[in-house]
Structure formats: structure tokens, C-alpha cells
Amino acid sequence: MERPDRASNKDFYDTEREQDRARFVREPSKLHTAELLVPWVTSCLREGDTVLDIAGGSGSYASAIVRTAPVSVVGVDISESMIRQRFEDPLLEDNVVGDMEALPFRDGVFDAVMFVAALHHVPQPLRALQEARRVLRPGGRLFALEPSSFRSSRRGVRPVPGMAHEFALSASWLAEQIRAAGFDVEQVQMRNLAVRALSRLARRSSARLFRIGDAIDAVLRHVPGLDRFAETALIHAVRHE
């Protein structure tokens, strides 16, 4: 039987995001995510590496990565619309429709995998993480950038009311799931702490708002215990040999 979250994900991105890539050059939050993600990922890659962009949508972040580093990115997404949009980019030549819980690739063929705002779309990310480990070579790297909810329990995820394809999870719990899938977690960065409060004060989101938030975060991250209130987690892990 088809899971409601999987069907909802496919339907949402096939119908509601027909012009998905336009958001990534317009929305301040998407631009800021790229500013965090691209240098973080590319600093750990080597020339010629092949990266699998899992549930990578229309490929805007992948596009930025291949334009920054001499690597290639393969895309997989459950939505046919997202895959069509990826093929519009001449540097994103390898893309396939597929489920992140059953990746259509052989074992050990990628140097790195990345999940960008993807794992919170499944009620239990362990299967997707195990699949990511399977297609990675020994020593390959995993990058996960996900929203983090300080209200979520360390024991699991909670459904987001009215959104069948979204679940809230905490960074600490996600890191535990990554370890359970067979990875060594090397780094957990918590970002977008101040912007949670600033967005309530500002009339609208802007690039300036995120820059101010980053400056405040540089101070706040030294205060013990505050990290758990940050909105975004960046987790870097390595597959066991």
C-alpha cells in the first residue's frame, strides 16, 4: 500500500512546483541555504568526485556546486517534474526518477551523497540513510542539511499538522539515525538561531535579515545550550570502512 507521505510528496512536487527553480534565485532563505551549503560541501570534495544529490528537487544547489568545484553531480528525485527541470541545466546531465528509500544505483559507486531539506519528508529517515550508505564507496561522505525542531523529541519525529509530506525532527535525533545507518558523524553545525526571532520582528524576509542573523549567531553559538534552538542543522558524516 502506498504510504500517504510518499504519495503527498510526489503529488506536491509534480503539481505545485512546476517552476521550482525560480524560487532559488528569489527567496532569501533559499539563497542563504546555498551560501551555507556550497562552501561546506565543496571544501570536502576532491577533483573528479561524483556526488549523488538525493531527493534534490530541481537541482539549484547541485548546479551551484558543479559551478564551484570540478566535480559531477547525479540527481535522483521522486518527482518527474523536478527531474525535467534538472535536465534544463546543461551541467546536470545525469538524473533519474527514483525513491530515496530504494535508490536505483549499484553499491559503492559515489564519493559523496547529500540530502538538502529532504530527510524531513519521511516519517523515519533510517532506510534512506542506509540506502545512502549502500551507494557510497568506503570512506565516502554524507552531507545533510535539514530543518531542526527544538520541540521534537530525541526519540523520533512528529507529523507537521496539515502537511502529510513533512515531519519535524531534531538535529540530535537525526545524528543518532545517521550513526545507526553505519556512519561516523564528524560534524554537527547548528545555524539560523537568531533568524528565528528576527523573522518575527521583521515585516518580510530578506538577505539582510539573514546576514544580521549570521552575525548574531557568531556570538550566540558560544553560549552553552542555545544551539538546540537553531533552525538548521548541517551534519557531515563518513561511511565506515
**Residue 91: its pLDDT value, please?**
96
SS3 content of the chain, % helix, strand, coil (to 5): 40, 25, 35
* Rounded distance between C-alpha atoms, residue 68 and residue 57, angstroms: 19
**Which grid coordinates are listed for 63?**
548546479
* Rounded distance between C-alpha atoms, residue 240 and residue 181, angstroms: 10
**Residue 152: its pLDDT value, please?**
64
* Rounded distance between C-alpha atoms, residue 76 and residue 8, angstroms: 17
The domain containing residue 194 runs over which residues?
Answer: 4-239
**Residue 205: its pLDDT value, please?**
80
Q: Is 219 helix (H, G, I), strand (E, B) or coil?
A: helix
User: In this structure, what CATH number is given to the domain that contains residue 135?
Assistant: 3.40.50.150
**Which grid coordinates are listed for 145?**
542539511
Q: Is the four-CA dihedral 134, 137, 140, 145 of positive or negative sign?
A: negative
**Residue 12: its pLDDT value, please?**
75
**Residue 35: its pLDDT value, please?**
95
**Residue 1: its pLDDT value, please?**
46
Q: How many domains does the chain have?
A: 1
Mean pLDDT per 10-residue interval, the chain, length 241 residues: 68 68 80 96 98 96 98 96 94 97 98 97 95 98 94 71 81 96 96 85 82 92 88 95 75
**Residue 58: its pLDDT value, please?**
93
CB 61 within 8 A of CB 34: yes
CB 109 within 8 A of CB 137: yes
The vertex-144 CA angle with 193 and 233, nearest 5°, equals 15
